[in-house]
Amino acid sequence: MTDSSSMAQAAKAALGVAAPAALVTFALLGAPWVPVSIAVAEALTFVGAASVGIIGVVIGTRAPLSGRATALVAVSCAALLAIVGVARARSPWVAPVVDACLIGIAWAIGGAVGSRIEHPGHLLPAAAVAASADVVSVASSWGPSHAIAESERALAILAIHFPVAGTRIVAPALGVGDLVFVALLLAAARAHGLSRNKLGWLSWFGVLIAGLAAAVSRRPIPALPAIGALVIAFVPEARRLRPKDRPVATIAIGVSIVAAAVAVLGAVRGTS
């Protein structure tokens, strides 16, 4: 890899972190001057967070970094988040920093994994396993997502924040795990010649579908099942398993469905 190409890739990665931070900063400046109803404010916050997060991941994963550079980005972002968490900074102006760091971690981890996917058909079991893990994490009382949602301190550094229209506050709206999976999809798309724009839009719509379901039900709804379902439905290559991969994929998908079903049933019984 030449120095010029390395610099170009580093510039794209930097833009993937800087652009979302700039968008959130701009929104912070304008949000107080946009008086809307509570329902509209909630919708704008969620759509804004989803858009900022996915835009950052799309830009950041346009070109792969070296393993050392990727590790440096992930460690640096994690260290900065730790500092924010220890300091317990509550200013809304911390949101651009937190969002940028989470996006950097997401495309560093997701991009590293996605670029190593050997065949597009592997996205089918990957989507099933990720969706199941997300359901279990949200539905189970011991799940990481459930625990994070119950902790204001954890949410402060593990969720994408966006300004609430008509106020000077920001609210958490999108978990970093969702962005890691989106980055995985985009990196796999780049590696196998799939449309990254298509996968980016499908991911965005998947997040919005989950957000709408959560707003209607007033319950936390995991986003990865919707994202995975849209990708499998509209990207034919993602569901074309090679014959040699089918036995293992079938087992993985079956176990995932059972695990998700057990978690959902447990949650339903717990609330009944």
Q: Whose structure tokens read 């359901």? A: 135
Asked if the model's pLDDT at residue 26 lies above 80, the reply is yes
**How confident is the model over 41-94, as pLDDT tens digits?**
999 999 999 999 999 999 888 777 677 778 888 888 888 888 888 777 678 899
Q: Which residues, listed in sequence order, are joined to residue 170 by a DSSP beta bridge?
A: 163
Q: Whose structure tokens read 């500092």? A: 83
Provide the whole-model pTM: 0.91
Q: Summarize the confidence of residues 133-140 as an average pLDDT.
A: 88
Range of the domain at 116: 3-271
Res 86: pLDDT: 77
d(CA 257, CA 204): 24
Count other Cβ atoms within 10 Å, centred on residue 189. Answer: 25
d(CA 146, CA 223): 14
Res 9: pLDDT: 64
**How confident is the model over 139-186, as pLDDT tens digits?**
887 778 878 888 888 888 889 999 999 999 999 999 999 999 999 999
The count of C-alpha atoms lying within 13 angstroms of the C-alpha of 79, restricted to the half-sphere facing its C-beta, is 6
Q: Summarize the confidence of residues 121-132 as an average pLDDT.
A: 94
**Could you give the number of structural domains in the chain?**
1
Res 7: pLDDT: 60
Asked if the model's pLDDT at residue 189 lies above 70, the reply is yes
